[in-house]
Chain A
Amino acid sequence: MTDVANPTVSSRWWVAAFLVFTLGLAALKITGVLTGTLSTVLFLASFLLIIPMARAQQRAMAARGCQSAAMARYGRRFMVASLSYVGLFFVSMWIARVTEPVLSIRIVLAFVAALPVIFMIRAMALLLKEEDDEYLRSRLVDQSLIATGFLLTIATLYGFLNAFDVAPRVDAWAAFPLWAVGLGVARLFQGDRAC
């Protein structure tokens, strides 16, 4: 069996492919190497790699013995929310820039852009509720607590740095990705990293 046939290795390849394509296309667009509608379409299309990446991760988790029905449902929900986020975020931003809408429309656009992220948070909450494997659940609870502590610590520290004019203002939506980074940090500190 080759390394690529190993589900964990395959999963890492898909993550790498996703990052290379999305970040690479973003860099080409920002630097002006790629321009026009085609560059935007290519950039958005690169997010479709979320689908094989998520499936590969599910296979890798199953191979490591950490897959459960709740985790599979979570994977599906998160994938749908992620793809919806990409689509709705770009549509909202496009409408906001092109039409320069009135306040009420801007509020609606903000809710539309935020909705998929709220569904991601809901998917996480449902995972904690539906996971009936007590060991996997205990790991998720620990990860969530560490991620919450991570977010609160960074937000408090950064808030005061901003208050003392040491650091620039950061948009509040950064809270969720920062919390997700905290989940990753939590996994690094957990003894059993298989799951």
Chain B
Amino acid sequence: MLNRLKVLRAERDWNQQDLADRLGVSRQSVNAIETGKYDPSLPLAFRIAELFALPIEDIFTSPTKD
């Protein structure tokens, strides 16, 4: 699944650890999600969306979507 996490994080001048602390996950989790190695669960995706005050679909995009 594609995502804009790295861009959104950079816009706020947060490093991976800052974002990890805000989400209550490990920095490695943030890294894995950003690099597309891991797709977050729906609850975590909602937490990310709420943190950035954006709809989920503005952060995560299906790789099969045009």
Contact = CB atoms under 8 A, between A and B. Distances in A.
A135 B27 contact: no
A126 interface: no
| Most chain B Cβ neighbours within 10 Å, of A65, A135, A191 | A135
Given A133-B29, A195-B28, A65 B37 contact: no
A68 B29 CA distance: 11
Contacts of B14: none
B17 to A, nearest CB: 7
Interface in A57-98: 64-68
Main secondary structure of the interface of A (DSSP, over half): loop
Q: What range describes how many residues of B lie at the interface?
A: 10 to 19
A135 B20 contact: no
Interface in A134-155: 134-136, 138
Given A134-B44, A135-B32, A192-B32, A68 B37 contact: no
Interface of B: 16-17, 20, 25-33, 37-38, 40-41, 44
8 contacts: A65-B30, A66-B28, A134-B40, A135-B26, A135-B29, A136-B26, A194-B28, A194-B31
Interface of A: 64-68, 133-136, 138, 191-192, 194-195
